[in-house]
Amino acid sequence: MTERRRASVSRDENRLSIGPSNLVWEGDVLTIRFDEVTSPRPSRLRGVMRLHPQAINDQVFSLDTEGRHRWRPIAPRARVEVDLENPALSWTGDGYFDTNAGAEPLEDGFKAWDWSRAHLPADTLMFYDVQRRDGDLAHLALRIGPEGNLRSIEPPPRTRLAATSWGIARQVRGGTEDAPRLRQTLEDTPFYSRSSLLGRYGGEQARIVHESLSLNRLRSPIVKAMLPVRMPRIFW
């Protein structure tokens, strides 16, 4: 999450390098090697993460009517191996890999969004609810099978979660009788939150990763001035 100048960035068909860190496709495995300094308390963060996709999705979704903002869930479900040299930690677990791309800053196109990914025993559910800057509301509701077959589904109703300590509103797609419940807030910032939830869909237990993003809050000059505290900017 370190911001660097254009000269520090290079890429080709299989590799993206940003400063001393890079992402490389090695066969069917995405290998991420990173060597960074944390912020605001400086310490070394160095290690390797390997992502083994269960399947690759080629479908791209437009989040706005003009096609300026696009989202692709590249690996809706994956196995992840993390091996850190500094600090000395390692673990494995379920993972996910997606990409957002756009022709303008996110805050120019949207007011806010809620996104979630629910891991069922076999399938994966993904829900995307966006509030566009023009006032329109839009949603995506997808079910992905083990082989990566992706189809649209009828979205369940939205359930309100407790706001974050920064006052960011959170809503998640889930049934009214067995609504997803908050387990832990993993990341809590002035404009963004990431949370761990538990819920049930169609009678199946689901582990849920959820995020809420306030682009109105991100637009604030005060918040923009705070960003380098957590995302250092290196000018070489």
CA dist., res. 160 & res. 19, Å (int): 40
206 pLDDT exceeds 90?
A: yes
25 pLDDT exceeds 80?
A: yes
Residue-wise pLDDT for 57-69, tens only, equals 999 999 998 899 9
Q: Residue range 33-59: average pLDDT?
A: 94
pLDDT at 236: 64
Pick the range with the lowest mean pLDDT from 73-77, 180-184, 188-192, 229-233.
229-233
Q: Which fold has domain 105-231?
A: AttH-like fold (2.40.370)
Q: 10 Å Cβ neighbour count for 41?
A: 6
Six-digit token pair at 36?
């960074």
Q: Where are the domains of the chain?
A: 1-101, 105-231
**Residue that has been written with the tokens 């960011």 in this structure:** 168
Six-digit token pair at 232?
């250092």
Q: How many residues are present in the chain?
A: 236
Cβ atoms of residues 218 and 224 within 8 Å: yes
Is 0.85 topped by the overall pTM?
Answer: yes
pLDDT at 39: 86
CA dist., res. 229 & res. 108, Å (int): 23
134 pLDDT exceeds 90?
A: no
Residue 175: pLDDT band (50, 70, 90) is: confident
Q: 10 Å Cβ neighbour count for 233?
A: 11
**Residue that has been written with the tokens 């096609």 in this structure:** 67
Six-digit token pair at 183?
């387990």
CB-based burial label for 31 (10 Å; 0-12, 13-18, 19+): middle
